[in-house]
Homo-oligomer: A and B are copies of this chain.
């Protein structure tokens, strides 16, 4: 291994016992400040099979209050997990603000396995490393403290431990096929671990390589490092200082210059609608069969006709294979996590279609304008969003984003119409009128959003919706084309 071992205290038994007690006491005393400072802490324990990851965690939590921490143990992805982006199981499991979370191995072990087994070729492995780096940086930028340990044992020591487990019928089930395989292919695994640790090394959450030959010796060391990191983060919130991914962006003219005159006749609409719906139905079968996920993002002005537009697409699809996800303001639980968490939690299975009625772009629109997040947060969000969509596309998803567009006069007309029609009145609220007053602020935000997130791979499509029928047909045609393209690739 390329890394420097952490120093470990001498083997004096009494001293070690005392050091351990002190270290665990310190950790216990940090629980309350962690909660009060709303600091989320991820303790990632990676390392060799049989290195004692689980038992180390059991000892670390000995004096902790169960209300303040979680232990999550990741094994091979379940079926549910393997039908989502690889990062899904980790992102959906990040702790809430003010909680400690111990991970019994995580993205490092999985990536090592995927690489050694050949499920990732060289190129995909590089992409995976990038994905890990993005993930850890996003967590850090959101104030998450990630403390990372790698428990190291030699091949010989690993063999000894595996044999000891196999000797007892109550523990032999703990030894998996993979554990034995790993011992036989220790050198190969070591080389991949080295690559991953080197590539993901960083100043804001350094790797701590721990000699785990003697678990009792490792405990006070790990505990001490962890407590120091927590104290550090409490004094100064972690910041990665890293800029994040760079994306190739398409030019976006100001939204006010969009020509809203395109329209379509009633007859033409009926004919085209029928043809589009038939085609979408066929394509839905195909993507289901090929397990291609489709993510459709709807944003637009109030009363622009999002609902009717969504319904025309939804009506073309088999109800068993799609979901419409209306996005309201975040719940208290959602507010206690990184803001993309709630969207990760809503991702569909592969082969399924998810239609988001409003989206993760709320961060750079309503949250920006209403001051629900800081300037730093919404400014950083453009990159985070581009990275999120990148992750979806790397998974194999078709991502289509619509801005349903009308002008201010048209909105006024439709608002008044809703107000004056009894069975439509529930569709219009005081909040709609208040938002309308902020039209010009929203216009600035929309232009910024289109300019900064219209990536070459996931561009925004402006849907002119003064004529709602025209808008529906245009959206359907774009979707059809995007799916057809994915089926060919």
Q: Which residues in A have some Cβ–Cβ distance to B below 8 Å?
A: 29, 32, 54-55, 57-58, 61-63, 65-67, 70-71, 73, 78-80, 102, 104, 170-171, 173-174, 282, 285-286, 288-289, 307, 310-311, 314-315, 317-321, 323-324, 326, 331-333, 355, 357, 423, 426
Instruction: Check if A319 sits within 8 Å of B66, measured CB to CB.
Output: no
Partner of A285, one of B67, B78, B171, B355: B171
17 CB contacts below 8 A, A to B, read A58-B318, A61-B319, A62-B311, A66-B307, A66-B311, A66-B314, A67-B324, A67-B326, A67-B357, A70-B323, A71-B319, A73-B319, A73-B321, A79-B79, A173-B285, A173-B288, A174-B285
Inter-chain CA distance A282–B318, complex, in Å, is 50
Task: Tell me the nearest residue of chain B to A284, going by C-beta.
Answer: B170
Instruction: Check if B319 sits within 8 Å of A57, measured CB to CB.
Output: yes
Chain B residues lying within 8 Å of A62, measured Cβ to Cβ, are 311, 315
Given A71-B323, A80-B80, A104-B320, 15 new contacts (CB under 8 A)? A32-B426, A55-B318, A57-B320, A58-B318, A58-B319, A67-B324, A70-B323, A71-B320, A73-B319, A73-B321, A170-B282, A170-B285, A170-B289, A331-B332, A331-B333
Task: Tell me the nearest residue of chain B to A355, going by C-beta.
Answer: B66
Taking the closest CB of chain B, its distance from the CB of A81, in whole angstroms, is 9
**Copies of this chain, how many?**
2
Chain B residues lying within 8 Å of A70, measured Cβ to Cβ, are 323
Inter-chain CA distance A33–B83, complex, in Å, is 37
Chain B residues lying within 8 Å of A282, measured Cβ to Cβ, are 170
Task: Tell me the nearest residue of chain B to A75, going by C-beta.
Answer: B320
Instruction: Check if A320 sits within 8 Å of B73, measured CB to CB.
Output: yes
Chain B residues lying within 8 Å of A63, measured Cβ to Cβ, are 311
Inter-chain CA distance A307–B63, complex, in Å, is 11
Chain B residues lying within 8 Å of A289, measured Cβ to Cβ, are 170, 173
Chain B residues lying within 8 Å of A307, measured Cβ to Cβ, are 65-66
Task: Tell me the nearest residue of chain B to A352, going by C-beta.
Answer: B73
Taking the closest CB of chain B, its distance from the CB of A283, in whole angstroms, is 9
Task: Tell me the nearest residue of chain B to A170, going by C-beta.
Answer: B285
Taking the closest CB of chain B, its distance from the CB of A98, in whole angstroms, is 13
Chain B residues lying within 8 Å of A324, measured Cβ to Cβ, are 66-67
Q: Enumerate the 5 nearest inter-chain pairs by beta-carbon distance, A residue then B residue, closest first.
A: A66-B324, A73-B320, A67-B326, A71-B319, A57-B319
Inter-chain CA distance A102–B320, complex, in Å, is 10
Inter-chain CA distance A323–B55, complex, in Å, is 15
Inter-chain CA distance A326–B58, complex, in Å, is 18
Inter-chain CA distance A29–B422, complex, in Å, is 13
Chain B residues lying within 8 Å of A285, measured Cβ to Cβ, are 170-171, 173-174
Instruction: Check if A66 sits within 8 Å of B102, measured CB to CB.
Output: no
Instruction: Check if A319 sits within 8 Å of B170, measured CB to CB.
Output: no
Chain B residues lying within 8 Å of A315, measured Cβ to Cβ, are 58, 62
Taking the closest CB of chain B, its distance from the CB of A398, in whole angstroms, is 17
| Residue of A54, A80, A285 ringed by the most chain B CB atoms within 10 A | A285
| Known A-B contacts A289-B173, A333-B333; A319 and B54 likewise in contact (beta carbons under 8 Å) | yes
Task: Tell me the nearest residue of chain B to A331, going by C-beta.
Answer: B333
Taking the closest CB of chain B, its distance from the CB of A385, in whole angstroms, is 23
Task: Tell me the nearest residue of chain B to A69, going by C-beta.
Answer: B324
